[in-house]
Amino acid sequence: MLQSQSPLSEKPVDVRDLDATELKKKLTERTLTSLEITKKYIDHLKQVNPAVNGIVEERYSNALKEAEVADHLIAQGNEAGSLTGIPVTIKESFHVKGMHTTGGLHLRSRQKQSTDARIVEKLKSEGAIILGKSNTPSLCFCQETDNKLFGRTNNPWDVNRTPGGSSGGEAALIALGGAAAGIGSDIGGSIRFPAHFNGVIGFKSGRGRVSHAGSYPEVLHPLQQRMYGIGPITKSVRDARMVYQAIADHEYDTRMNVHDFTIYTLPKGSAILHEFIEQKLEEMIDYLNKFFEVGIETPPFFNESASIWQEVMSIDGGKSTAKEAGFSGTGSVITHFIKEKISGKSDYHVFLTWALIGARLFKPGKKRILEIERTIEKGDRQNEKFFDRNILVLPVYHRTAPFHGELYSEIFSIRKTFKKYMPFAAYANVWGLPSLTVPLGKDDGGLPFGVQFISKNGNEEALFQLGEIIEKGFARFQRCRLHDS
C-alpha cells in the first residue's frame, strides 16, 4: 500500500486518494513532505502504467530533486506559490524544456524542447512538480487516445474501453491517482470526454482565457482558436479552481454567488441518452431544484453547433494538419490509410489518416465560411445575454466509455453521425465558453459518467461553486483502485 504514517498523524494516509488542496494542507502542516508524496506517486505510476499506458515520458529523477527543494522552501516559509511541492502530470502536447513533444508521430520522436509552454512556466512558477507527460492521439486529432509512436491508452475502469481523447492519457492517470492534478486541452470535447469516461473533474477554459503558447500542434485559424481551451483535470472541483487560477491569463473574479444564477436544461427529448444517464440527470435536476430556479430552454444555435464545429475543424480540408504530419498531399494520406488498414505497418494511425480524409470531404467553401462567421457573430451576441446570470446543464456524451474504436466510429462516420453525438461537447467549443465536467455516477457495469455546466467567460467561479454543490451532496470523484497492488 502506498501509505504514509506521519508522527503527527494517527492513521495512515494514502496520497493517491488526496486532492492537491489536501496535500497542500499537509505540506504546510509538515505532516507529509513533498519528497515523500512524490516518491509515492512515482511508485504508483510505475506499477499501474503498464496496464493503461498513460505516461509516455517521465522525469522522475528531476521530480525527486525538485521535491527536496520544495521541502526546503516550505520549511523556510518561502513557498514559490499555490502548488509548491505538488506533483502533477501534463498532456504530451505541451512543451516542457528538456522533454519531447511528438504529437504521437515517429518523425518527431527526437524533438526535444528548449523552452516551456506558457502554462508550464506558470505551473513551475507556482511550485508544481511535473512527473511526466501523458499520451494523446496523433496530433490530438481524435477523441480516442492512440498513436503509432506510443500506442493505445486504456480506460482504467475497463482496459478494453477508451479513456476518450485527446486528453485521454491525462484523465486515465488522474482517475488512478497517479498525480495530484493534471493539465489537458480541448477543441472538441478533449478534456470533457476523458473526464466523463474516467470519472474525474475536467475544466475547459473559455475563449482567450489561457495562453496557447507552446501548445502543439499550434492552432492557427481564428475560428479554431476560439474553440480551443486549456484547463485542469483533477480529483476535486476545488483543485480545478486552484489550478485554473494558477494558469489563467485574466483576473479571476471571486465575488460571484452561484445562487444568483438560474440553471437551464434542455427540453425533454432533446438528447439521445442511455437510460441510466438520462435518469441520473433527472435526479440531479431534482436535487438542484432545492437550491435554484431551474428552467428549460434550448440555448442559442444549439442545433447548429455540431455542424459548425465539424466545418471549422475542416476549415482548410485538413491541409495544415497533414503538412504537420509530414504528408506530401491527399494521395499520400490515402496511401497510408490503405496501408495501415491492410498491413498495420504505416507510420500513421488509421484514426489520423481517416480524419484527414474526412476533413477534406467536409471542407467548407468560401461562401459557407462567410455564413459561419456571420452566424458566430450573431450567436456570440445572443450567448452574451443568455449566459449573463445563467448556467446550462448538458450531458457530455450519450453513453459511458465505449470499447476501443467505437467512439471514433460514431464521431468520424461518413454518415455524419457526429450531428447526433457531438452537440453536447461541440457547443462550448463553437461559442468559446467555459465548461466544467464533474462525475455524476456509474452505470451497472461500474463505468463512470459525468455532466457539464456551461456559462460565459467571467462566470468561472459560478461554475466551480455549482460543481461543488453537486460534489458535496450528489456525486464526487472516486479513485479507480482496480490496478492497486
Q: How, if at all, do strands 435-442 and 201-204 pair? A: antiparallel
At residue 11, does pLDDT exceed 80?
A: no
- Summarised one tens digit per residue, pLDDT across range 115-167 is 999 999 999 999 999 999 999 999 999 999 999 999 999 999 999 999 999 99
Question: 27: Cβ–Cβ under 8 A, 6 or more apart, which residues?
Answer: 33, 34, 37, 70, 74, 84, 85, 86
Q: Which residues pair with 351 in a beta bridge?
A: none
Average pLDDT, integer, range 311-318: 98
The Cα 248–Cα 232 span in angstroms is 11
Evaluate if residue 388 carries a pLDDT over 90: yes
CA atoms within 13 A on the CB side of 155: 28
H or E stretch at 436? strand 435-442
Pairwise CA distance, residues 87 & 332, whole Å: 42
- Cell numbers of 24, please? 497542500
How far is it, in rounded angstroms, from Cα 480 to Cα 182? 16
3-state helix, strand, coil in the chain (%, to 5): 40, 15, 40
If you average pLDDT over residues 451-476, what whole number do you get?
Answer: 97
Task: Quickly count: other Cβ atoms within 10 Å of residue 69's Cβ.
Answer: 16
Q: What are the DSSP calls for 213-278, one per residue?
A: TTBSSPP-SHHHHTT-EEEEEESSHHHHHHHHHHH-SS-------GGGSEEEEPPTTSS---HHHH
**Percent over 90 (pLDDT), the chain:** 95
Contact 93, 140 (CB under 8 A): yes
The model's pLDDT over 242-266, given as tens digits with 9 standing for 90+, comes to: 999 999 999 999 999 999 999 999 9
What is the mean pLDDT of the segment spanning 107-112? 96
Domains of the chain: 3-260+437-473 (3.90.1300.10)
Q: Which residue from 428, 432, 442 is spatially nearest to 478, judged by alpha carbons?
A: 442
* Sheet of 390-395, strands arranged across: 55-58, 129-134, 87-91, 181-186, 229-234, 201-204, 435-442, 448-454, 390-395, 262-265, 294-296
Output Rg (C-alpha) for the chain, integer angstroms: 21
pLDDT of residue 9: 44
Residue 183 near residue 90, CB atoms below 8 Å:
yes
Query: CA-CA distance, 178 to 166, in Å (whole number)?
Result: 18
Phi-psi region of 110 (alpha: psi -120 to 50; beta: other; left: phi over 0): alpha
Reported confidence tier of residue 13, pLDDT bands at 50, 70, 90 = confident
Per-residue pLDDT of 338-367, as tens digits, reads 999 999 999 999 999 999 999 999 999 999
Alpha-helix residue ranges (DSSP H) falling in 53-191: 60-76, 118-125, 168-175
Supply the residues annotated as catalytic: 91, 166, 190
